[in-house]
Amino acid sequence: MSTAYADERGPGTGRRDAETTRAAIVKAARYLLARHAHADITLRAVAERAGVSPPLVLKYFGNKDALFSSVMNFEADVEVFLDAPLAELGAHMVRHVLTGQVERGADPILRIVFAPLHGEQGEILRSNFRSQVSGRLAERLTGEDAGLRAELAVSMLLGLGVMYGIARGPHVRAADIEEVVDRYAPAVQAQLASPSGARGRIE
Q: Domains in the chain and their CATH numbers?
A: 18-71 (1.10.10.60), 75-192 (1.10.357.10)
What is the rounded distance in angstroms from the CA atom of residue 96 to the CA atom of residue 145? 25
Query: Would you state the pLDDT for residue 196?
Result: 62
pTM of the model: 0.75
User: What is the spatial distance between Cα 54 and Cα 50, in angstroms, rounded to a whole number?
Assistant: 10
- Comparing C-alpha atoms, which of 62, 65, 25 is closest to residue 45? 25
pLDDT at 105: 65
pLDDT of residue 117: 80
The 8 Å CB, 24+ separation contacts for 46-49 are: 47/5
**Rounded distance, CA 8 to CA 176, Å?**
41
Say if residue 173 is exposed, middle or buried (CB neighbours under 10 Å; 0-12, 13-18, 19+): middle
> pLDDT digit of tens for each residue in the chain (203 aa)?
344 454 554 444 444 588 888 888 988 888 887 778 778 889 999 999 999 999 999 999 988 888 887 788 888 788 899 999 999 999 999 999 999 888 776 677 888 888 888 888 888 889 999 999 999 999 999 988 999 999 999 999 999 999 998 899 999 999 999 999 999 999 999 999 977 654 444 34
